[in-house]
Amino acid sequence: METRFQRLFLGVLLLGAASLINPAFAQEEVSDDDELEQVITPDIKRRQIKEDDLDTENFEVGVYYGFLSVEDFGTNGVAGFTLAYHITESFFVEGAYGSSKTQKTSYELLSGGVELLTPEQRDLTYYNLALGYNFLHGQIFMGEKWTFNNHFYLMLGAGNTEFAAKDYFTTSLGAGLRFYTTDWLALDLSMRGHSFEHELFGEAKRITNLESRLGLSVFF
């Protein structure tokens, strides 16, 4: 019994001494496969998208064509041009000039030979200066390579309308969507409301001429 105990005690001493001499015997051996798993990382292929920034120039010049609904004088084609200065990314000022030729009123058409205005007086022109605010900036993706910037805007301004050989102080309110095809070229789809008071039919009457138009502008 004593001999068996001595052998067991001796074996424990030998095992402890071996672990002190070579610590590798006290740890599990790490296999080569485990080491490779720690070194190798997943190979993730990332898609790179390059987006052109808008030009840093703050001036914008544009042309437009659309339709102007003049109360009592029908809906007529309208054309004009704009010049804008972008104060910040959100705010800009815009000057606009447009012209249109109105139709005869329903009274003139029904009465036969009666003409309220001469052909020259039927020409309508306007100019105004407005403050605009850009909002809801976004992007439109077409395929994997094409990305286009766009935003909505609101405008409030004042100016003058010349119609029937008279000038009328006019306030304007508008909204639109600007779509950038490149970093310097933009399409503009918008609506305007031009409001003024006239006395063409004997009594003072406030009207609002609604205008819808499509424009093309460049930045420089």
Q: Dump pLDDT digits (tens) for 123-159.
A: 999 999 999 999 999 888 877 777 889 999 999 999 9
pLDDT at 25: 43
- Residues of the chain with pLDDT below 70 are 1-56
Task: Give the pLDDT of residue 140.
Answer: 82
The predicted pLDDT at position 78 comes to 98
pLDDT value for 201:
80
Looking at 1.10.10.60, 3.40.50.10440, 1.10.10.10, 2.40.160.20, the CATH number of the domain 59-219 comes to 2.40.160.20
pLDDT for 21 equals: 53
Burial class from Cβ neighbours inside 10 Å (0-12, 13-18, 19+) for residue 176 reads: buried
Closest CA to 174 of 210, 214, 207: 210
This prediction has a pTM of 0.72
Cα Rg for the chain, rounded, in angstroms? Answer: 39
Question: Cα–Cα distances in Å, from 44 out to 41, 47, 203?
Answer: 9, 10, 75
pLDDT at position 26 is 45
Residue spans of beta strands (DSSP E) within the chain: 59-69, 75-86, 91-101, 123-142, 146-163, 166-180, 185-198, 205-219
Enumerate the domain spans of the chain: 59-219
Q: Which amino acid is at 148?
A: F
Secondary structure element (H or E) that encloses residue 108, with its range: helix 106-111
